[in-house]
Amino acid sequence: MTNQSFSEITPQLVHLSELSKKSSYIDPELYTKYDVKRGLRDLNGKGVLVGITEISEVNSTKIVDGKSVPCDGELYYRGYNVQDLIAELPDDCFFGFEECTYLLLFGKLPNKQELGEFCELLSNYRSLPQNFVRDVIMKKPSKDMMNALARGVLTLYSYDEVPDDTSEANVLRQCLQLISMFPLLSVYSYQTYRHYYNGESLIIHPPKKEYSTAENILHCLRDDSKFTPLEAKLLDVALILHMEHGGGNNSTFTTHLVSSSGTDTYSAIAAAIGSLKGPKHGGANIKVVKMFADMKEQVKDWTNEEEVGNYLRDLLDKKAFDKAGLIYGMGHAVYSLSDPRAVTFRSFVERLSEEKGYEKEFALYSLVERLAPEIIAEKRKIYKGVSPNVDFYSGFVYQMLGLPLELYTPIFAIARIAGWSAHRMEEVCHKGKIMRPAYMTVCPHKEVTPMDERE
């Protein structure tokens, strides 16, 4: 044993990493030469078909005169337009997420009795094993809540008497329990983190049986457990809009991929969490919030179109914020003219901004929403339209709700576990082959030389 730090990067590791970097490089031109769809996308960014699903549908084009042309984005859950599902929910209903979870898992909208029984089932599952908070969450608190969530999910395997039983009924039971437990795993991990690392009081509220998922998140997170009906409503809508987005998004595809091996539910969902943790997937709304924070510091007059426009140009020219050349929250891999989730979100966001006194911030978001597509078109050669995506507003919503940045991506996971569960059930029930896509090898064959002759 040595006294070397667990996280130390030694000169030897730097040297070896350079060797690895050199040997791992693939010339991007080879993808064109051999017609390999890099990232499982074609040249236009459209995903390569690798499976069939009935769970959801993402539309961004329509056929006109035999040609595919861009259209306003549409998102369907089991054939139902998500915008219609949300529009049908009464203003005083906070169980939309539960209703849509039922829809995703069972293929039909529940009647009043079915929804009530389903909510009661989820409520009964909404608890962690005895001493789990003390022995797992509090023993070694993580500074990253997605890491804590993944660890919690994997540890639950040890509490399950039949964790490897992949029968449909057992997998459904495991999925329903995880859907119910995700808010507790996330919020309790955050409460522990802020206690140990920030010196704040440790407050653990038990969930309320009569509360919805959205209500319980706010109840468990806030020290005084108080929230307004509009806050609960907007968080419920946010969960609905994030819970599912087709089988091809990275974390859901990961669920299919890992599930196809026949592994247990906890391993499959932990893998999906690992995917969502990646900033290219689940962290976009954090970037949006940080970008706007920088914008509000740099731009003196938030209503001045010229000032705001110049800042946006500086973003694209890599002169502002993180100098990545991106306007975060604008554009999507699938949608072009509009993201239906952002469109649906907008009216709710405006209402909450009025309740919370964020009218000036909302006006700034609205101005950026209008100017950014024009400036991107001016500065970039683009092949499809650019519009705000769901992350453009979701971070602003969470900010107004007082949610900490550390929980932005876990909230995404709390919603998306419903979609992951539906796709895992689809994969388990399908009983298909293990997924095994092919990679083309371009490394030439070589002769082995004696060790003393090697460079």
Active site (catalytic) residues: 332, 391
Q: Which amino acid is at 452?
A: D
Name the one residue in this structure whose structure tokens are 């952002």.
342
- Taking alpha carbons only, the member of 18, 82, 369, 442 closest to residue 237 is 82
H/E run at residue 417: helix 408-430
Token code pair at residue 365: 């978001």
| Angstrom distances, CA of residue 48 to CA of 44, 234, 269, 419, 437 | 11, 34, 23, 20, 12
CB 375 within 8 A of CB 267: no
**Residue 6 corresponds to which tokens in the numbers above?**
């667990």
**Cα–Cα distance between 100 and 105 in angstroms, integer?**
9
What is the DSSP code string of 263-310?
--HHHHHHHHHHHHHSTTTT-HHHHHHHHHHHHHHH-S-TT-HHHHHH
DSSP state of 157: G
DSSP 373-411: HHHHHHHS--SS---B-HHHHHHHHHHHTT--GGGHHHH
CA–CA separation, 315 vs 306, rounded Å? 14
Distance CA 411, CA 407 (A): 6
Q: Is the CA virtual torsion 332, 333, 335, 341 positive or negative?
A: negative
**Token code pair at residue 12:** 């030897």
Of residues 353, 427, 445, 449, the one with CA closest to residue 171 = 427
3-class DSSP assignment, residue 368:
helix
Q: How far apart are CA 423 and CA 8, in angstroms?
A: 40
The DSSP call for residue 133 is I
